[in-house]
Structure 1
C-alpha cells in the first residue's frame, strides 16, 4: 500500500522536472553559440568602441577620455575625405555583389539541375579551387593579367577594341572585378544549397499548367531560392565593402577605400583611435543597410539553408 500510495506522488514530482529539462535544453544548447558570439563578436566590438574614445599619440600612448569628437572629426577634415572613401566602398560592394549574382546564379543553377549527381561534387570543387591559393597571391596575379602590357589589354588592342592609352588596372572596374572574382564562391554555394532543396517536380507542374520555362523559373525557382541569394548577398557585400586588398593591388589613387583607410590609420600612421572609430562607423552603417535589406527582402525561409 505504501509503494502504491507513493507512486503517484513520485510521478507528479518527476513530471515537472522532465518538463523543466525539455524547456531548458534549447537554452543550454544555445550557450555554445552565445559564448562564441560574445567572445569573437561582441567583445571585439566593445573593444573597438573603447579604443575609438581614447586620446593620445603613438609616442606618449593612448588613454581613455570619452573622446567622441573623433567621430565628428572623421567627416569634417577636408584633407582626408573619409565619407568619400566610405561611399566608394559601398558602391564597390553593391556592384561586386550584383556581378556575383549575375555570374553565380547560372553556375549554381547548372550544377543543381543540369548535371548528374556524380558530377556535382567535382564541379563544386572547381568553384572553390581558387581558395587553394592565397587571397593576396591570386589578386596580385590579376594585377599582372590586367596590366597595360598584360594579355587582356594586349589582346583588346590587337583586335582593335581598345586604343593605345586604354588601361584596366588602376580603375574602379578592376577593383570591382577583383572583389567579384574573389567572392564568387560565397555566392554560388548558398544559392546552390537553396536550389538543391527545390523539388524538380514543381517546375514540371508549372509547365503542365501552361507556364513557359521563363515564367516557371520566375514564379517558382527564383522565389524558392531567395534564401540562398539573401545569404550570398550578406557574405559577398560585407566582405567587399571592408576589403583593402583588391583596391590596393588592382586600384589606384582614385579607388582608395575605407578598408585601406582603416589599414593605413592602424598600421601606417598608428592612429589606433581613428582606425577603431572608422571600423565602428563601418560596422554601424553595414548593420543598418543589412537590417533594411532583411526587412525588405524577407528572411522567413532562411532556415531552409540549415
Structure 2
C-alpha cells in the first residue's frame, strides 16, 4: 500500500503569531484612541487651571470638590431625573411597539421597520430642528389645537422642559423598539399558545411567558436609552434653550466658554463613573439567576 501523506499542521507557535497579527491592530486602536484619551482625561481632572487656555501640572482635588457645589450638583440631579423620565416614557412607547411589530406578518413588519429606519438617513440635528416648527408659537401643534378649539391662544411650548423630554423620547425610542423586537422576534410563540391552552388569560400568558423571555431586550433598550440621555446636550440646546441645562451642556460650557479644561475633565470622569455603574448593574441583572429572580 502506498503511503498516505498528510498535510503538516501548523505549529502552536505559528498559530499564535497568526492570531497575534490579527488582533494586534485592534489592541493598538483601543490603546491609542480609547484607553489613551481616558487616561489623559483622568490625569487632567486632577490638574489646575492656569491662564485662559493653560493647564498647570499641580495636583489638586478642587475640581471634584466644585462638583458638589449646589449649582453643579443640581445639574447632575436634573440630568438624572430627565434620563429616568425619558427612559420611562421610551419603555411605555417602545416596548409595546417592538413587541407587537414582532407579531406582525412579514409584509407589515418590513414596512414598519422601514419607517423606523428612514429618519436615520437624515441628520439628527435636522430632525430636531423639525420639532421647532411643531412647538413654536403659531406652529403646527398650535394650529391643530386652535382649530379643534382646545386652546384659545398660542401656547409657549418651545424652550420648555416638555419639549426637551419629547426630543429625548423621539431620538431614543428606536433603540428600545429594535432591542425589544430582537428579543420578541426570537420568542417561541408555541409557549404562549401552550399557556393559553392551559387556561391562562392573555394577560397571564404575557406576564408569565412573553415578558420574562423578552426582558433581555428590554434591559438592552434601557441601557441604550438611559446612558445617551445623560449626555445628549444638543437636544437641550435646540429644544430647551438656556432653560434646561444638562451635564453635557455644562461640560461644553466649561470647554468652549470658560476654557476650564480640568473642571470639564472632572465632570466627564464623574459622568463616566455614573454610566459605568449603570452598566455594571445591567450586567448583574442580566445574569440568568438574577434575571429569573426579578420575574
Give your verdict on TM over 0.5: yes
CA distance in 2, matches of 1:60, 1:113: 57
Root mean square deviation, CA, Å: 3.0
Q: Does 1:141 align with 2:130?
A: yes
CA distance in 2, matches of 1:35, 1:113: 44
Structure 1 window deviating more from structure 2 (162-171 vs 193-202): it is 162-171
Q: Which residue of 2 aligns with 1:107?
A: 97
> CA, structure 1 residues 265+168, in 2 after alignment: closer, same or farther (shift >3 Å)?
same
Q: 1:186 aligns with which of 175, 183, 189?
A: 175
Give structure 2 stretches of 5+ with no counterpart: 1-8, 290-295
Per the normalisation by structure 1, the TM-score is 0.81
Give structure 1 stretches of 5+ with no counterpart: 1-13, 302-306
State the Cα distance separating 1:164 from its structure 2 match.
2.9
Q: Which residue of 2 aligns with 1:298?
A: 286
Give CA-to-partner distance per residue, 1:96-124, whole Å, 9 cap, x none.
111111111122122211222x4433421
Q: Which residue of 2 aligns with 1:63?
A: 56
Contact 1:92–1:176 (8 Å) recurs in 2: yes
> CA, structure 1 residues 88+25, in 2 after alignment: closer, same or farther (shift >3 Å)?
farther
Q: Which residue of 1 aligns with 2:79?
A: 89
CA distance in 2, matches of 1:34, 1:195: 35
Contact 2:50–2:56 (8 Å) recurs in 1: no
Structure 1 window deviating more from structure 2 (202-211 vs 159-168): it is 159-168
Q: Which residue of 1 aligns with 2:239?
A: 250
User: How many residues are matched?
Assistant: 282
State the Cα distance separating 1:166 from its structure 2 match.
3.2
Q: Which residue of 1 aligns with 2:160?
A: 171
Q: Which residue of 1 aligns with 2:200?
A: 211
CA distance in 2, matches of 1:31, 1:264: 38
Give CA-to-partner distance per residue, 1:229-272, whole Å, 9 cap, x none.
11111111111111111111111433111111111111222211
Q: Which residue of 2 aligns with 1:54?
A: 47
CA distance in 2, matches of 1:37, 1:230: 26
Give CA-to-partner distance per residue, 1:128-172, whole Å, 9 cap, x none.
211111111111110221112211123223434335363221221
State the Cα distance separating 1:209 from its structure 2 match.
0.8
Q: Does 1:226 align with 2:215?
A: yes
> CA, structure 1 residues 209+156, in 2 after alignment: closer, same or farther (shift >3 Å)?
same
Structure 1 window deviating more from structure 2 (165-174 vs 269-278): it is 165-174
